[in-house]
Amino acid sequence: MANFPIEAVRGKFPALSLADKGRRIYLDNPAGTQVPQAVADAVSRCLLSTNANLGGFFETTVAAQQVVDEAHAAMADFLGAASVDEIVIGANMTTLTYHMSRTLGRTMKPGDEIIVTRMDHEANVSPWLQLAEDLGLVVRFLPFDEQSWQVEEEALQALLSERTRLVALNYASNLTGSINRVKSLTALAKQAGALVYVDAVQFAPHGLIDVQALDCDFLVCSAYKFFGPHMGILWGRRDVIDALKPYKCRCSSNGLPERFELGTPQIELMAGLTAAIDYFADLGAAAGGGGSRRQRIAKAFEVSIAYENALTWQLIEGLSDIEGLTIRGITDPERIAERVPTVSFTVEGIAPETIVRQMNAENIYLWSGHNYAWEIVHQLGIPPEQGVVRIGIAHYNTATEIGETLESVHRVIAMVRQQRS
Ligand SMILES: Cc1ncc(COP(=O)(O)O)c(C=O)c1O
């Protein structure tokens, strides 16, 4: 923890020091993170000085195109893509996934099989289920293992067949926090001839993604979960996406990635996206990293993962002495590297919303509910209308904040129990 420049990090995020209604503790990070000043500045600068549509010859349209190109280049560095042509930027992960699923549907026929997991967010389940309904595809559900909290290779192997066309799986769960072994799961799926579509929305803020090493075909993430603006990014392997015919206007470009980017892009948000990626690179540089932007991003993750893991363990340990509280995810300190810092729990006899409402009133921001991890709550037998209490750490949180949060959890649970006794 000692090497992490926490004060410098916090100084870059104006929202962290807002104290109009007392201090705020942001633990709602899996739902959306705060942004550095540089991100807001880049959005504002773009709107105020280079606001134009694309494709012309005058100064502002040329500048706007540069903003778009820079965002694609930044995301290629962030994801380790072989080319900027593989980066598709859109409204959010859900919209991109619905669009790509429809495009892929054009290559599928009745009786083809697809695999979705019981560990994914609905945005990587519903689009495929509805595609299957439209086309007469066979859907196979891949459960996660309730001991390891991960999707196991044997379970995937058991579902693959020569008719499997696609496997949709997540990198890290937005409820349990566990990280899947995407590389080995992908290798299995590819041996069977299936395409692999990876939801990295919850992994992206917490670890370096290397799409080439993973060898998947698609990977999606959302910038607002990693300190950027509200937008989504899809990476598609060049040979795979180049063979696809998306739904699009006849007269719009057939080039890559424009073929998949419908209508006028969110140009100002792309300016913010580049600033978010540069924020990681700057953090890496501040932690002693050098070299290319990607190398500096890698350094940023190296130091932030170590820092986050310490906070995660502080949180897990601090929750473990509460009677009737069950953490729904990995709690073994030896396996801390196999999870992101999102910790969800339930408490016997107390609705998650009751706990969360009281903590929210104390300016501790966190969520209750199923959080769209619809399949997970069903597999675990948790009533979806109740769900869990979810505490989601980001690298700008502190040990003091986790300490205060733990005190609050203890106090609120004791208070509710006392009121009922
Ligand atoms: C794991 C996961 N996948 C997908 C999504 C949906 O992302 P978006 O809001 O960009 O559509 C979320 C949002 O919380 C998520 O946590």
How is the chain split into domains, by residue range?
A: 6-35+293-420, 40-277
State the pLDDT at residue 35.
98
pLDDT at 21 over 90: no
Residue 92 — very low, low, confident or very high, per pLDDT cuts 50/70/90?
A: very high
User: What number is the average pLDDT over the span 44-57?
Assistant: 97
417 CA distance to ligand 1 middle (Å)? 34
pLDDT at 401 over 90: yes
pLDDT at 2 over 60: no
State the pLDDT at residue 157.
98
206 lines ligand 1 (CB under 6 A): no
User: To which residue do tokens 């201090």 refer?
Assistant: 23
Residue 20 — very low, low, confident or very high, per pLDDT cuts 50/70/90?
A: confident
**Which residues are CB-contacts of 109 (< 8 A; sequence separation ≥ 6)?**
135
Highest CATH level, class, for 6-35+293-420: alpha beta
Give me the residues paired with residue 387 across strands.
369
User: What number is the average pLDDT over the span 343-359?
Assistant: 98
pLDDT at 321 over 80: yes
| CB burial of residue 419 (10 Å; 0-12, 13-18, 19+) | exposed
pLDDT at 276 over 80: yes
275 lines ligand 1 (CB under 6 A): no
Residue closest to 234 by CA, chosen among 43, 106, 116, 99: 99
Cβ–Cβ under 8 Å, residues 231 and 222: yes
61 CA distance to ligand 1 middle (Å)? 32
Q: For residue 305, how many C-alpha atoms fall within 13 Å in the half-sphere facing its CB? A: 16
Joined tokens for residue 96: 């991109």
Residue closest to 337 by CA, chosen among 177, 205, 166: 177
User: What number is the average pLDDT over the span 127-154?
Assistant: 98
Name the DSSP class of 238: H
State the pLDDT at residue 182.
98
Cβ–Cβ under 8 Å, residues 169 and 120: yes
State the pLDDT at residue 1.
57
pLDDT per residue over 285-303, tens digit each? 999 999 999 999 999 999 9
pLDDT at 146 over 80: yes
| CB burial of residue 91 (10 Å; 0-12, 13-18, 19+) | middle
d(CA 126, CA 128): 5
**pLDDT above 90: percentage of residues in the chain:** 98
- Which amino acid residue places its CA nearest to atom 16 of ligand 1? 174
92 lines ligand 1 (CB under 6 A): yes
Pairing of strands 25-26, 325-327: unpaired
pLDDT per residue over 369-387, tens digit each? 999 999 999 999 999 999 9
- Which amino acid residue places its CA nearest to atom 7 of ligand 1? 93
Ligand 1 pocket, mutate which of 89, 92, 94, 178 (most atoms under 8 A from CB): 94
40-277 placed in CATH 3.40.50.620: no
pLDDT at 255 over 90: yes
Residues listed for the chain = 421
Q: What is the pTM of this model?
A: 0.98
pLDDT at 147 over 80: yes
234 CA distance to ligand 1 middle (Å)? 12
| Strands lying side by side in the sheet with 325-327 | 325-327, 342-347, 388-392, 367-369
148 lines ligand 1 (CB under 6 A): no
